[in-house]
Amino acid sequence: MSFSDSDSSSHGGATEYKIFRQVSRDRLLHEMLGSTRTEKSKSWKVLIMDKITVKVMSHSCKMADITDQEISLVEDLFRRREPLPSMDVIYFIQPTKENIVMFLSDMSGREPLYRKAFVFFSSPIPKELVNHIKSDTSVLPRIGALREMNLEYFPTDSQAFTTDQERAMEELYGTFGNARRFDACLNIMATRIATVFASLKELPFVRYRSAKALDESTEATPSDLVATKLAATVWDMISKYKSSIPNFPQKETCDLLILDRSVDQIAPVIHEWTYDAMCHDLLDMDGNKYMHEVPSKTGGDPEKKEVLLEDNDPVWLELRHTHIADASERLHDKFTNFASKNKAAQLQQSAREGNELSTRDLQKMVQALPQYTEQVEKISLHVEIAGKINKIIKEMGLRGLGQLEQDLVFGDAGAKEVINYLRTNQDTTPENKLRLLMIYASVYPEKFEGDKATKLMQLAKLSSEDMKVVNNMRLLGGSSESKKTSSSFSLKFNAAKTKQAARKDRIGEEETWQLFRFYPMMEELIENLNKGELPKNEYSCINEPIPAPQGGSLRGNRSSSAQTSQSTTAPHSMRSRRTANWGRARHSDDGYSSDSALRGACTDFKKMGQRIFVFMIGGATRSELRVCHKLTTKLRREVILGTTSIIESPQYITKLKLLSEKELALDGFKI
């Protein structure tokens, strides 16, 4: 029996650099499942997991990957299972008391359920639970391995993970939250974040957004200190890995920046105009699942088919972060070019036009048709989706609303324009009017003081429940009841004087598409971190770095990457909403292949600098995920986004409503 963590890595002495999600997959399949295939245990095995580790596994591996490692059966730890005394078993479980009790019950006594057990824990196991296992003398000889995998996060993208905490915002920022729930939420979050660094063998500089009291006479509330406490807990856990994990780096190898949702309350509600964001904002999707209508094979009504919009779809990979108008044009080009180049498509078109087909033509069509069908289905899927999105944009008048939203954010519109929009667009949905007022309140908080807010909500014909959402935005900003200067509503998030523009135009970036002006604050913060220009009074570092001498780092020079980003910056802004085009001509490589996706996949990560990790407490947006992909290419550093959950505007609004509820009840709300 051994008790240790793995010694393979994507960094810290490793010979091969692997991208984030690949590390998770390889560790689970090869380091965990593959390690049990010894000379004495070559036969097929049973894999047992709990609710959390099932999610961990499913986010990184497919069932076919698992069976390739000679796993014949996957079981739930807490379900009644058939005894298989001739087979070995692999347990991948959380190190909780309940799980240990179940494991010992399976393997103890004269007739254990399985022959030999290989036990892997998703996070560090307390010493008392190790002693509990060792105290059962009937189980000890039946244990083939007892190891901490330290892998308890959920990769949702090649460069993103969650801690799977949908209710984190309510538990950490709700006015009626209790200390026990607050601490439990924070500890789970810290544990799962720490296992990311254990898996990658990275030791980060831990930076976090510092708490800001409104004045010196007030003490910080628990909500003010969420980022501070999380940073301290994460650093404490990661520090222990330095002595417990073989080959773990002893010096810092990357950056971690911990933020909370108050840093940017506009990003979750503004309309983001990329293909990915529009899919999740406007279509009735369940996570990444989309219901696609396909022609019936029997000639009847169209059939519903569930498809996943994820990394293994090259068209999705290419288009997801492009403007919806750009995506639509590229799809049109792909379909047209594919049809012009593909023999089966040409022949089928010829048949439709009434031309007589020769026997040879028919043979060619049959030979080419299977490939044609598969490829055209993938393109037509996205053509259908983009068509639906463009139809909704037109029906809901989103272009006009989107223009006003962005004008507000960049200081080009104010009260007059908002009031005029609400008066002349009475048929706008309540959700979109609420989102507009939330943006307005973030940019112009003084306009929501006293009875001004009530009048605006009445003009928009919104309810008191909707008013509660705007009112609760201040809870994320650290404003408590004791800090109010009067009984009237105030949205002053901090003591600084509010600027009348929440964003400045990005320097050196040409705006090609209309409504593509907005960017989340995370983009600016990551770029400042890369250049070493994060304000120390706002962003503290637990393990303050010592200025390094001239020279390289483990995987790249921080100063050189900063210089690179600065050298590519133009001296003046080229962005202008007046010169933007909703649509323009765009050449596509061919009808199907995804050139940009392939180029991205071929990126030489060995030449990249140190990783940057950004963790957003309270949920991250698709615009923030887009920024991490964009900056990875721009800064030549892999930027990885971590968060409690990926949020869409409707659920963010619902979460804000619940912040002031006595009972946090998300049950029945579709997440």
In a domain, 406, yes or no: yes
More confidently predicted of 566 and 661: 661
Task: Name residue, tokens 């009972």.
Answer: 663
What CATH number does residue 340 fall under? 3.90.830.10
| Banded pLDDT at 472 (limits 50, 70, 90) | confident
In one letter, which amino acid is 578? R
Whether residues 332 and 404 share a domain: the answer is no
CB 189 within 8 A of CB 168: yes
Task: Name residue, tokens 């009291």.
Answer: 213
Q: Is the pLDDT of residue 575 over 70?
A: no
In a domain, 519, yes or no: no
More confidently predicted of 509 and 559: 509
Strand order in the sheet with 143-148: 71-76, 45-49, 88-93, 117-121, 143-148
Position 16 scores a pLDDT of 63
In a domain, 488, yes or no: no
What CATH number does residue 108 fall under? 3.40.50.2060
Report the run of H or E that residue 398 belongs to, with start and end: helix 398-409
More confidently predicted of 536 and 50: 50
Whether residues 367 and 384 share a domain: the answer is yes
CB 382 within 8 A of CB 331: yes
| Banded pLDDT at 21 (limits 50, 70, 90) | confident
Range of the domain at 409: 399-477
Give the residue from 377, 396, 415 where a domain finishes: 396
Whether residues 45 and 120 share a domain: the answer is yes
Nearest alpha carbon to residue 57 among 133, 122, 124: 122
Mean pLDDT for the chain? 80
Q: Is the pLDDT of residue 588 over 80?
A: no
User: What number is the average pLDDT over the span 280-303?
Assistant: 81
Whether residues 295 and 252 share a domain: the answer is no
What CATH number does residue 169 fall under? 3.40.50.1910
Whether residues 250 and 142 share a domain: the answer is no
**201 conformational bin, left if phi > 0, alpha if psi -120 to 50, beta if neither:** left
Backbone phi, psi, residue 420, to 5°: -65, -40
C-alpha to C-alpha distance for 656 and 131, rounded to whole angstroms: 44
Whether residues 184 and 123 share a domain: the answer is no
Position 224 scores a pLDDT of 80
Number of domains in the chain: 4
More confidently predicted of 252 and 371: 252
Whether residues 144 and 162 share a domain: the answer is no
Other CB atoms within 10 A of residue 25 CB: 17
| Banded pLDDT at 339 (limits 50, 70, 90) | low
User: What number is the average pLDDT over the span 368-389?
Assistant: 77
Q: Is the pLDDT of residue 234 over 90?
A: yes
In a domain, 579, yes or no: no
More confidently predicted of 262 and 503: 262
Among 499-503, 556-560, 642-646, 662-666, name the one with the lowest average pLDDT. Answer: 556-560
Position 491 scores a pLDDT of 44
DSSP conformation letters of 17-59: ---HHHHHHHIIIIIIIGGG-BTTB-S-EEEEE-HHHHHHHHH
Whether residues 243 and 254 share a domain: the answer is yes
Position 294 scores a pLDDT of 73
| Banded pLDDT at 142 (limits 50, 70, 90) | very high
Whether residues 291 and 386 share a domain: the answer is yes
Whether residues 282 and 365 share a domain: the answer is yes
Joined together, the tokens standing for residue 421 give 């929009």
Joined together, the tokens standing for residue 416 give 């007059």
Give the residue from 462, 477, 492 where a domain finishes: 477
Give the residue from 93, 127, 152 where a domain finishes: 152
Nearest alpha carbon to residue 616 among 272, 91, 161: 161
In a domain, 457, yes or no: yes
Whether residues 30 and 141 share a domain: the answer is yes
In a domain, 365, yes or no: yes
Coil, strand or helix: which one is 123? coil
| Banded pLDDT at 498 (limits 50, 70, 90) | very low
C-alpha to C-alpha distance for 513 and 575, rounded to whole angstroms: 10
In a domain, 499, yes or no: no
| Banded pLDDT at 595 (limits 50, 70, 90) | very low
Whether residues 227 and 335 share a domain: the answer is no
| Banded pLDDT at 79 (limits 50, 70, 90) | very high
In a domain, 557, yes or no: no
Position 297 scores a pLDDT of 67
User: What number is the average pLDDT over the span 426-445?
Assistant: 92
Position 659 scores a pLDDT of 85
Position 668 scores a pLDDT of 39
Find residue 290's DSSP bridge partners.
307
Nearest alpha carbon to residue 318 among 382, 368, 374: 382
Pairing state between β 45-49 and 71-76: parallel
